[in-house]
Structure 1
Amino acid sequence: MNGSAVPFAGTGYHPSGRFLAAGAPLWTFAPSVAPRGTVLVLHHRTGLDGFMADVVDRLTAGGFVAAVPDLFAGQPAGLAPEERKRLLRDDAVLAVLAESVRLAAVDGLPVAALGFCMGGRLAFLAGSAGIGVDRACCFYPGEIDQAWHAGVTPLERVGAAAAATQLHRGARDSNATAAQFDAAVTAFDKAGAYLEACTYAGARHAFANPYAPERHHPVAASRAWAGAMAFLHAGAPVVIGA
C-alpha cells in the first residue's frame, strides 16, 4: 500500500490492505479458518492502538474477517485525539464506511459494524444509515443524538431498515448517557427495528478497554464481550416476531 505499514501484527490472521476512494487505508484481517462473516472495526478517538489490535485478534479467533478503516487518515499530524474526532463529518465517514462494507464483504456473508466510544457512535450511524450493515454492535456510543457538522443525527436516521443493533454502556457513564439509550429504545420501537440495550452496574465510560486501567471494569467487559460475540455470531438480522 505505497509504504503504509500494517497497523497490527499477530499470528491468528492474514492481513491485506488497500486504499479507499477518500484516500483512507482499509486493512482486512482474515481468520485462519473459513470466515463466518465480516466485522467492520471502528476505532475510538485514540485511533488504531493496542486495544483495537486486541479486538482484531479476538474477532479473527472467533472466525470473522476484521476490516479496519483508518478514519483519521489524511488529518494533520500532531493533533490531540479530541481534535481529530472533531474533524470528522458524518457524510464523509459514511462514504468511507459504505465503501468499506462493499470491499470487505465475503461471498454474501453478513457484515457487522463494531465500535467503541467514537467508533461506537459510528457503528450506530452505519447501522441506521442503510449502507449494507446487517448488525451494529456499539460500545458506549456517545453523541448519537448529535449530527457531526451538519445533517441528520444518527438517532433521527433510525427507520424500519435499520440494522439489528446492540448497545453497551456503563451505569456510571456520563458520555453515553441513559437518556440517549432511552431515546434509542424509543426510536427503534417506533421503527419496528431490533435493539438490545445493555447497561452494566458500576462501570464507567471505556469500561472495556484494558489499556485504560482507571476505567477498565473486567467483569462488565467480560459480560459485554460475551454478549457482543453472541450477537455477532447470530448472523443475519433479527426479524421482529419471527
Structure 2
Amino acid sequence: MNTRTDRLTLADGTVGLPLWLPGSGRGPGIVLIQEIFGLDGYLASVAADLAALGYVVAVPELFWRFAPGWSSAHDEAGVAASMEVAGQFDPERGVTDVLAALAHLRALPETGGRAGVFGFCLGGALAFTAAARADPDVAVSFYGSTVPARLGELGRITCPVQFHFGGQDPYIPREEVRKVEAAVAAHPGAEIHVQEDAGHAFHNHVAPMFHHPEAAARAWELTTAFLRRTLPV
C-alpha cells in the first residue's frame, strides 16, 4: 500500500486530498467520508483496509474551511468538542466537496473511471446525499443520522446502495430505522443491515464508548461482500 496527497481544487479554495493506493497501484476508487472526529487514526485505518482490498481511497477533509486538520479524542469530551466544530459545517458545501473528490478519483488513470462513496455517521449522511445528487458506481452509508428524514431522495439513487444501522442507536431511534427498512424494501439495488445489539458508531474501534466488535465484524463482512459484487477490483 502507498499513500500520497493530491490537490483538490474547489470553487472557494484548494485543499489537500489524501489518497491510499493498493499494492498494485490501481483499482476502483472510493471516496471515504469522515465522522465528526475528522481524519483521524480510525478513518486512516479504514482507508488502509479498503486499499488492502484493492481500492484507491480518497479522504476529503470536510472541515478545512474553519478547522483545518481537525481531529479529536473519541471520548465524551472529544464528542462534545467535535459536535461544536461540526456545528459550523455546511452540509451543502460538504456534498460539493465529496462530489469533487469523486470526480477527481474518476479522472485518475489508476481507477479506470470507476468510483463510489462510503461514509460513517456524518459521512454516511453525505454518502447518501451524494448518491442522490450524482452517479457514483456504488454507495455505502453507515449510521447516517439524516437518512431517515431524507428518504424522499432515495428514489433518485440509481447505483447499488447499502445501509448499516445499530438497533440500539440513541441518536437514530429504531422506529426511524424501520422507515429506512421499508423504503429500501421497495427500492431496487438497495439493501439494509441492522445490528440489533449495537449502538451508534459501532464500527469505530478507537472509540470504546461506541465500539461493538462483534457487530463491527459482521457489518464489515457484509460491506466487503457488497463491494466485491458491485465494485469489483
**Which residue in the other structure is 2:114 paired with?**
110
Q: TM-score when scaled to structure 1?
A: 0.80
Q: Distance in 2 between matches of 1:116 and 1:221?
A: 12
Give yes or no for contact 2:148–2:177 (8 Å, CA) kept in 1.
no
Give yes or no for contact 2:184–2:192 (8 Å, CA) kept in 1.
no
Per-residue CA deviation, residues 153-199 of structure 1 (Å, 9 max, x unaligned), is 4x222225433211111211122333333323444455x43221111
Segments of 5+ residues of structure 2 without an aligned counterpart are 71-79
Give yes or no for contact 1:173–1:204 (8 Å, CA) kept in 2.
yes
Amino acid aligned to 2:100: E
**Which residue in the other structure is 1:218 paired with?**
213
CA RMSD, aligned part only? 2.3
Secondary structure (helix, strand or coil) at the match of 2:125 reads helix
**Which residue in the other structure is 2:123 paired with?**
119
CA 1:163–1:175 in 2, change beyond 3 Å: closer, same or farther? farther
Matching of residues 5-84 of structure 1 within 5 Å? 12-21=1-10, 22-23=12-13, 24-76=15-67, 80-84=81-85
Secondary structure (helix, strand or coil) at the match of 1:158 reads helix
**Which residue in the other structure is 2:165 paired with?**
169
CA 1:186–1:27 in 2, change beyond 3 Å: closer, same or farther? same
Size of the alignment, in residue pairs? 217
Which of 196, 199, 208 is the matching residue for 1:201?
196
Give yes or no for contact 1:110–1:235 (8 Å, CA) kept in 2.
no
Q: Distance in 2 between matches of 1:34 and 1:48?
A: 22
Give yes or no for contact 1:161–1:193 (8 Å, CA) kept in 2.
no
Which of 124, 135, 139 is the matching residue for 1:136?
139
Identity of aligned residues (%): 29
Q: TM-score when scaled to structure 2?
A: 0.83
Per-residue CA deviation, residues 187-215 of structure 1 (Å, 9 max, x unaligned), is 4455x432211111321111111111132
CA 1:186–1:108 in 2, change beyond 3 Å: closer, same or farther? farther
Which of 153, 158, 172 is the matching residue for 1:157?
153
Matching of residues 174-185 of structure 1 within 5 Å? 174-185=170-181
Q: Distance in 2 between matches of 1:218 and 1:134?
A: 29
Q: Give structure 1 regions of 4+ aligned residues with deviation exceeding 4 angstroms.
A: 76-79
Per-residue CA deviation, residues 10-42 of structure 1 (Å, 9 max, x unaligned), is xx2231321331434322222111533111110
Q: CA deviation at 1:220?
A: 0.7
Q: Distance in 2 between matches of 1:84 and 1:113?
A: 23
CA 1:125–1:161 in 2, change beyond 3 Å: closer, same or farther? closer
Q: Give yes or no for the alignment of 1:87 onto 2:88.
A: yes
Give yes or no for contact 2:135–2:158 (8 Å, CA) kept in 1.
no
Q: Distance in 2 between matches of 1:172 and 1:212?
A: 16
Q: Distance in 2 between matches of 1:184 and 1:204?
A: 16
Q: Distance in 2 between matches of 1:20 and 1:109?
A: 19
Q: Distance in 2 between matches of 1:160 and 1:120?
A: 17
